[in-house]
Chain A
Amino acid sequence: MVTHENGGGHGHHQPPSGFIRKWVFSIDHKVIGIQYLCLALFSVFVGMALSLLMRFHLAWPAAKIPFLSGGQMTPEQYLALMTMHGTIMVFMVLTTAPQSGFGNYFLPIQIGAADMAFPVLNMLSFWTTFVSLVVMICAFFVSGGAPIGGWTSYAPLSALGEIVGPGQGGGETLWIIGLAIFCGASLMGALNFITTLIDLRAKGMTLGRLPLTCWTWFVTAILGLLAFGVLLAACILLLLDRLAGTSFFIPGGLVVTDQVITWHKGGSPLLWQHLFWFFGHPEVYIAILPGMGVASHLLSTFSRKPVFGYRAMVGAVCGIGFLGFCVWGHHMFVSGMSPYSAFAFSILTMTIGVPSAIKTFNWLGTLWGGKIQFNCAMLFALGFVSLFVSGGLSGLFLAQPALDLYLHDGYFVVAHFHLIMGVAAIFGMFAGLYFWFPKMFGRFMNESIGKLHFWLTFIGVYAIFMPMHFMGLAGIPRRYSEMTAGPFLQKLQPLVVFITIAAFITIGGQLIFLFNFLWSLFAGKEAKEENPWHATTLEWSIPSPPPFDNFGGIEPVVYHGPYEFSVPGAADDYIPQHLAPDLVRKA
Chain B
Amino acid sequence: MPGTIVDDIELIDAGRGGGTPPPAGGDDDDGGSSGARRPVPRRAYFTALQLGLAAIVMFFMALASSYIVRKGLGTDWQRAPIPPVLWFNTLILLASSVTIVVARKKLEGGEREAFRSWWWVTTGLGLLFLAGQIIAWRELAAAGMLLATNPSSSFFYLLTAAHGAHLAGGILALLYVAFRPWSRSRISQETAAELTSIYWHFMDGLWIFLFALLTLGR
Residues of A at the B interface (CB closer than 8 Å) are 1-10, 13, 111, 114, 117-118, 187, 190-192, 194-196, 198-209, 225-230, 232-234, 236-237, 240, 244-248, 252, 265-268, 270-271, 274-275, 278, 306, 310-311, 549, 553-555, 557-561, 563-564, 567-570, 575, 580-582, 584, 586
Contacts and interface: CB of A to CB of B under 8 A. Distances in A.
A246 B186 contact: no
Interface stretch (B43-51, B109-117, B204-212): B43-51
Nearest to A8: B184
Contacts of A268: 69-70, 73-74
Contacts of A557: 22
B58 A230 contact: yes
B11 interface: yes
B154 A248 contact: yes
A208 B23 CA distance: 11
A289 B63 CA distance: 28
Given A203-B29, A209-B25, A266-B77, 10 more contacts: A2-B43, A4-B38, A240-B158, A246-B148, A247-B154, A274-B69, A306-B2, A569-B12, A580-B18, A582-B11
A246 B55 CA distance: 25
Contacts of B142: none
Contacts of A207: 26
B66 A3 contact: no
19 contacts: A1-B28, A5-B186, A9-B184, A191-B55, A199-B47, A200-B27, A200-B41, A209-B1, A225-B54, A236-B162, A240-B147, A244-B147, A247-B148, A248-B151, A267-B74, A559-B22, A567-B9, A582-B16, A584-B9
B35 A271 contact: no
B36 A228 contact: no
A266 B51 contact: no
Contacts of A225: 51, 54-55, 58
A13 B39 CA distance: 10
Contacts of A202: 25-27
Contacts of B73: 268, 270-271
A582 B15 CA distance: 8
Contacts of B34: 554-555
A507 to B, nearest CB: 37
Contacts of B30: 1-2
A234 B69 CA distance: 13
B151 A568 contact: no
A203 B31 contact: yes
Contacts of A118: 40, 48
B79 interface: no
B25 A204 contact: yes
A275 B39 contact: no
Contacts of A569: 9, 12-13
Contact of B59 (A5, A233, A561): A233
B17 interface: yes
List the 7 closest pairs (A to B, CB-CB), nearest first.
A201-B26, A9-B186, A266-B76, A245-B148, A233-B62, A204-B22, A229-B59
B62 A229 contact: yes
Contacts of A191: 48, 51-52, 55
B13 to A, nearest CB: 7
A543 B19 CA distance: 26
A8 B40 CA distance: 12
Contacts of B20: 559, 580-582
A246 B77 CA distance: 13
A13 B37 contact: yes
Interface in B162-179: 162
Contacts of A227: 58
Contacts of A278: 62
Given A265-B76, A266-B75, A230 B62 contact: yes
Contacts of A208: 1, 4
B128 interface: no
A229 B58 contact: yes
B85 interface: no
A9 B188 CA distance: 11
B24 interface: yes
A4 B45 CA distance: 11
Contact of A117 (B2, B44, B77): B44
A584 B20 CA distance: 13
Contacts of A201: 25-27
B8 interface: yes
A7 B48 CA distance: 19
B48 A205 contact: no
A121 B48 CA distance: 11
B55 A187 contact: yes
Contacts of A226: 54-55, 58
Contacts of A204: 22-23, 25
Contacts of B188: 5-6
A339 B125 CA distance: 51
B25 A199 contact: no
B70 A267 contact: yes
